[in-house]
């Protein structure tokens, strides 16, 4: 009941936040909402963990900090590994094999025929038209800013991800950069990354970033997926947009979700991604300084300098 009341509050605030039209009463209501979330984060973090999906589903995409407060929650009995630990082996953490609780019926928004075709494609890669028709199934209008069914994109991403994790576990393996590839699940994600326009891709990548939370099987899988999409992108525009989605969540005030930090640190630190060699990192001096500043916050000044120099970025 309390979760539903919060969802109703977010829905009420949504049009004002989306259009950044906050008169004095709305500013007071928004600040009050932030304070409620801070109390929940401090005293009842499991509540935010359990209902994160339903909350993020109705919070407008531009409300970065509001979402970060929710996604930063982690169970009180868990000790978060320090994401800034050099050579932290995420795949060795025992928690990454445990699925988080999600107390939201996220598949309920899927039309029955769409869900049927999706399940069929995940099992048999047919009907073959599923991928080519996916964009039109997600699109609801031609009006910029309201082109896509955000709830359906969010549901699709989480459902495909959970099915992928189960598929990998059934083969006796665990998600990694090598095991998530060459599957119907990754076909869908790569198709969305390539086929969607800028607006749609931003919503799709945000749906992935919403699962980068505390150490659990979803965080690990979606972190690998985000990095894989970056590595396999056929244009720099996709890589730039992945970077934007991660970066905009890191340059706001703390707290920052653990999985978000882990993913961004891996992206800028691992030479396999050649992050510092991309043009969009050096497109303007203030942008370059921003990346260097975030890198230093994420890794410490000395390590960040070594990484940037090692890839010819300084």
Q: Report the candidate in 231, 232, 221, 306 with the shortest Cα–Cα distance to residue 275.
A: 231
Question: Checking phi first, is residue 110 left (phi over 0); if not, alpha (psi -120 to 50) or beta?
Answer: beta
| CATH code of the domain made up of 81-310 | 1.25.40.800
Q: Band of the pLDDT at 312, cuts 50, 70, 90?
A: very low
* pLDDT tens figures, 254-305: 889 999 999 998 898 888 888 888 888 887 787 778 777 777 766 666 666 6
Q: Is 235 exposed, middle or buried (CB count within 10 Å of its CB: 0-12, 13-18, 19+)?
A: exposed
* pLDDT tens figures, 142-170: 887 788 999 999 999 999 999 999 999 88
Q: What's residue 201's pLDDT?
A: 95
Residue 139 φ/ψ, nearest 5 degrees: -90, 135
Mean pLDDT of the chain: 88
Percentage of residues in the chain with pLDDT exceeding 90? 58
Q: Mean pLDDT over residues 220-235, rounded? A: 93
Q: What's residue 49's pLDDT?
A: 95
Distance, in Å, from the CA atom of 210 to the CA atom of 257, rounded to the nearest integer, reads: 9
Q: What's residue 219's pLDDT?
A: 94
Q: What's residue 314's pLDDT?
A: 41
Cis omega before residue 141 (within 30°)? no
The domain limits of the chain are 1-73, 81-310
Report whether 273 contacts 230 (CB < 8 A): yes
């Amino acid at each position: 009941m309390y979760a539903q009341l919060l969802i109703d509050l977010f829905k009420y605030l949504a049009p004002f936040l989306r259009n950044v039209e906050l008169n004095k009463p709305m500013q007071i209501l928004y600040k009050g909402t932030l304070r409620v979330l801070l109390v929940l984060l401090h005293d009842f973090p499991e509540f935010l963990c359990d209902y994160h999906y339903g909350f993020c589903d109705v919070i407008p995409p531009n409300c970065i900090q509001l979402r970060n407060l929710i996604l930063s929650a982690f169970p009180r009995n868990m000790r978060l590994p320090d994401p800034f630990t050099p050579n932290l082996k995420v795949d060795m953490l025992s928690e990454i094999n445990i699925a988080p609780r999600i107390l939201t019926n996220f598949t309920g928004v899927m039309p029955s025929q769409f869900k049927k075709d999706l399940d069929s494609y995940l099992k048999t890669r047919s009907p073959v038209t599923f991928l080519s028709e996916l964009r039109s199934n997600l699109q609801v209008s031609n009006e910029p800013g309201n082109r896509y069914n955000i709830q359906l994109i969010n549901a699709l991403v989480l459902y495909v991800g959970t099915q992928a994790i189960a598929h990998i576990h059934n083969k006796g393996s665990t998600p990694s950069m090598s095991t998530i590839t060459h599957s119907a699940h990754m076909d869908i994600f790569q198709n969305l990354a390539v086929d969607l326009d800028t607006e749609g891709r931003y919503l799709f990548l945000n749906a992935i970033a919403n699962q980068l939370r505390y150490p659990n099987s979803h965080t690990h899988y979606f972190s690998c997926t985000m990095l894989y999409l970056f590595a396999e992108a056929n244009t720099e525009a996709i890589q730039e947009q992945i970077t934007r989605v991660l970066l905009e969540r890191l340059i706001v005030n703390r707290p920052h979700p653990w999985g978000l930090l882990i993913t961004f640190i891996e992206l800028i630190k691992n030479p396999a991604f050649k992050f510092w060699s991309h043009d969009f990192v050096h497109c303007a001096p203030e942008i370059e300084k921003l990346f260097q500043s975030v890198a230093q916050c994420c890794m410490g000044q000395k390590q960040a300098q070594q990484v940037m120099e090692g890839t010819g970025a300084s």
